[in-house]
Amino acid sequence: MSRTVRNYVNGDWQDAAAAPTLPVHDPATGELLAQCPDSGGDDVGAAVTAARDAFDEWRSTPVLARAQYMHHFKVLVEENFEEISRIVVREHGKTIDEARGEVRRGIESIDFAISVPVLMRSDGLEDISSGIDETTVRQPAGVFAAITPFNFPFMVPLWFLPTAITCGNTFILKPSPQTPLSTEFLFELLHELDLPEGVVNLVNGGVPSATALMEHPEVTGVSFVGSSAVAKIIYETCTRNGKRVQAQGGAKNYIAVMPDANIEASVKNILGAAYGCAGQRCLAAAVAVGVGDAYDALKAELAKQVASLKVGYGLEETTQMGTVISEAAKTRIEAMIGQSEADGAEVLIDGRNYRVEGYEEGAWVGPTLIADVQPATAMAQEEVFGPVLALMKADSFGEAVAMINQSRYGNAASIFTNNGKQAREFKYSVKAGNIGVNIGVAAPSASFPFGGQKDSFFGDLHGQGMDSIEFFTERKIVIERWV
Ligand code: NAD
């Protein structure tokens, strides 16, 4: 019998009222790790009530005191760094080094929240009229919720929770039911902080709990990270229910490689971008576009380097690439490789039917390289979210930019070049929210907003950076005259 993960409501661990559960597997061994409850409206209602009741006391807790909780939180995460990283590997299947990178990035978001006493300050002006002063104050806005994906189970919740509560809001997290164990541990650490009851709450589940959060009248705003199809649903449902919303979606990220680039060094970088986390990153390189003469050299060097990747169990330190999240994901990814082959592309390195000795039950897809992918096919247009890199050819820089800009996604794009003018033109004209120049994964650090355009983002204010301060606060204008 496996245990069922519990919700965290009003400062305590509670069994979900809803009976159905969803299995959580180690995707490399197939071991059943736990059951995740599929919480429903009652569970969400209890969490929202707790968060609402906690709000008044929490918002009047001095902001420096709120930031002190984050100092303590950071210490606890640092002290438990290795254990958290191991939990991420077990439930997700990525490598231990990738998990450590994820936890480090999460800590950077806590660091950002520690700066809230500075970032929340506002401005004012004396004598806007004779003897009249006008100022702006930022105030916390109420109860916020986040709905997060499986692929960075520890880091993505930290894009939102620390800043939201340090701004004085109360918070409810609904993580992915595929990976609830990292967030369970996160809440064990939050429990140690002795925050007032109801400031942070955890509701585990899938669609019913997400929907109940979006429809609850006492939830002020929702942060979402996940696929574009769901991001659109979240945006529409939240706006229909009068909530503020930031919905970060999926991606199809292109990398243009110019003939003047150092091919060997570029490929080393592209390799990490395409196959890191087995391609399950919203910033993963999905398409490498070789411009002119770069195409053949890129193809040869990629084939050489991809073949040398060591795939295996994430907890083994020498492993360079782990599993995908589930058997269902493996089946979907393999079907997309097959479709690409049927569409006339050349599968140069085929990761289908991949086996890792000793882990026969694992959801393995080997690193896959597909050449001569045509622009109109699904492999060029749809998100695979697996270890598959498509190679495309462009005759010119302009054609490469046009290929990128016709995509319905706009999460990230990179260029590898030694030509500053072309790099500048790329930054200027490419329609994507995160741009890399000689960088494979253009991941914004915590004090910058996480870009995303077109179908990769729905909303106005992005996650992270000053956008998150705007999102989690309400501005009030005060005009005063004293006689
Ligand atoms: P997903 O969209 O399937 O699920 C994300 C969250 O939404 C989960 O908590 C899930 O339970 C919930 N959900 C699913 N269907 C829903 C529905 N109909 N209504 C309400 N909630 C629903 O995404 P995933 O498979 O967990 O994560 C992978 C996706 O996330 C990829 O597309 C990836 O590109 C994207 N992603 C984007 C970013 C970014 O910053 N733009 C970052 C990480 C991942």
Query: Atom 40 (ligand 1): residue with closest C-alpha?
Result: 248
What is the position in ligand 1's atom list of the atom closest to the CA of 206? Answer: 11
Q: How far is the CA of 149 from the centre of ligand 1 (A)?
A: 4
Query: Atom 11 (ligand 1): residue with closest C-alpha?
Result: 206
Q: How far is the CA of 425 from the centre of ligand 1 (A)?
A: 32
Ligand 1 pocket at CB < 6 A? 147-152, 174, 176-177, 206-207, 210-211, 225-227, 230, 233, 248-251, 282, 383, 385, 411, 450, 452, 456
The answer to whether the Cα torsion of 379, 381, 384, 388 is positive or negative is: positive
Q: How far is the CA of 10 from the centre of ligand 1 (A)?
A: 26
Query: Atom 35 (ligand 1): residue with closest C-alpha?
Result: 226
Closest residue by Cα to residue 467 from 157, 167, 77: 167
What is the position in ligand 1's atom list of the atom closest to the CA of 148? Answer: 9
> Are the C-beta atoms of 397 and 425 separated by less than 8 Å?
yes
Name 332's Cβ contacts closer than 8 Å, sequence gap at least 6. Answer: 386
What is the position in ligand 1's atom list of the atom closest to the CA of 251? Answer: 34
Name 196's Cβ contacts closer than 8 Å, sequence gap at least 6. Answer: 11, 54, 57, 58, 61
Q: Best substitution site from 216, 230, 238 to test ligand 1's pocket, by max atoms within 8 Å of Cβ?
A: 230
Q: How far is the CA of 266 from the centre of ligand 1 (A)?
A: 30
For the purposes of burial, counting CB atoms within 10 Å of the CB of 360, is it exposed (0-12), middle (13-18) or buried (19 or more)?
exposed
Q: Which of 36, 167, 238, 282 is catalytic?
A: 282
Q: Which amino acid is at 227?
A: S
The Cα 347–Cα 416 span in angstroms is: 24
The Cα 394–Cα 213 span in angstroms is: 46
Q: What percent of the chain stands above pLDDT 90?
A: 100
Q: What are the CA-CA distances from residue 404 to residues 161, 177, 286, 294 (Å)? A: 33, 33, 11, 17
Other beta carbons within 10 angstroms of residue 467's beta carbon come to 18
| 35: alpha, beta or left? (left if phi > 0; alpha if psi -120 to 50) | beta
Query: Atom 26 (ligand 1): residue with closest C-alpha?
Result: 149
Query: Atom 42 (ligand 1): residue with closest C-alpha?
Result: 282
Q: What is the pLDDT of residue 2?
A: 85
Q: What is the pLDDT of residue 204?
A: 98
Residue 94 scores a pLDDT above 80: yes
Quickly state the pLDDT bin for 333 (edges 50, 70, 90): very high
Mapped onto helix, strand or coil, the DSSP state of residue 133 is strand
Q: Where is 434: in which H helix or E strand?
A: strand 434-437
Q: How far is the CA of 246 from the centre of ligand 1 (A)?
A: 13
The Cα 235–Cα 224 span in angstroms is: 9
- For residues 33-62, give the mean pLDDT: 98
pLDDT in tens, 7-44: 999 999 999 999 999 999 999 999 999 999 999 999 99
Residue 350: phi and psi, rounded to 5, are -110, 115
Residue 382: phi and psi, rounded to 5, are -100, 150
Q: How far is the CA of 228 from the centre of ligand 1 (A)?
A: 8
Print burial letters for 252-262: b (CB count within 10 Å at least 16), e (below 16): bbbbbbbbebe
Closest residue by Cα to residue 325 from 35, 91, 36: 91
The Cα 457–Cα 191 span in angstroms is: 32
Q: What are the CA-CA distances from residue 10 to residues 44, 48, 174, 197, 245 (Å)? A: 12, 9, 15, 5, 24
Quickly state the pLDDT bin for 1 (edges 50, 70, 90): low
Q: What is the pLDDT of residue 161?
A: 99
pLDDT in tens, 95-142: 999 999 999 999 999 999 999 999 999 999 999 999 999 999 999 999
What is the position in ligand 1's atom list of the atom closest to the CA of 385? Answer: 31
Q: How far is the CA of 466 from the centre of ligand 1 (A)?
A: 23
Q: Best substitution site from 36, 176, 237, 455 to test ligand 1's pocket, by max atoms within 8 Å of Cβ?
A: 176
Q: Scanning the structure block, which residue is given the tokens 């039950």?
A: 361
Q: What is the pLDDT of residue 165?
A: 99
The Cα 254–Cα 380 span in angstroms is: 9
- For residues 399-404, give the mean pLDDT: 98
- For residues 343-364, give the mean pLDDT: 98
The answer to whether the Cα torsion of 261, 263, 264, 269 is positive or negative is: positive
What is the position in ligand 1's atom list of the atom closest to the CA of 248? Answer: 41
Q: How far is the CA of 411 from the centre of ligand 1 (A)?
A: 14
Query: Atom 23 (ligand 1): residue with closest C-alpha?
Result: 226
> Are the C-beta atoms of 312 and 356 separated by less than 8 Å?
yes
Q: What is the mean pLDDT of the chain?
A: 98
Beta-strand relationship, 124-129 and 170-174 = unpaired
The predicted model scores a pTM of: 0.98
Name 101's Cβ contacts closer than 8 Å, sequence gap at least 6. Answer: none
Q: Best substitution site from 227, 243, 461 to test ligand 1's pocket, by max atoms within 8 Å of Cβ?
A: 227
The Cα 130–Cα 218 span in angstroms is: 41
Q: Any catalytic annotation for residue 282?
A: yes
Strand partners for 414: 255, 436
Q: How far is the CA of 109 from the centre of ligand 1 (A)?
A: 20
Quickly state the pLDDT bin for 409 (edges 50, 70, 90): very high
Query: Atom 13 (ligand 1): residue with closest C-alpha?
Result: 207
Domains of the chain: 7-249+456-481 (3.40.605.10), 253-437 (3.40.309.10)
Q: What is the pLDDT of residue 58?
A: 98
Q: Best substitution site from 24, 151, 158, 209 to test ligand 1's pocket, by max atoms within 8 Å of Cβ?
A: 151
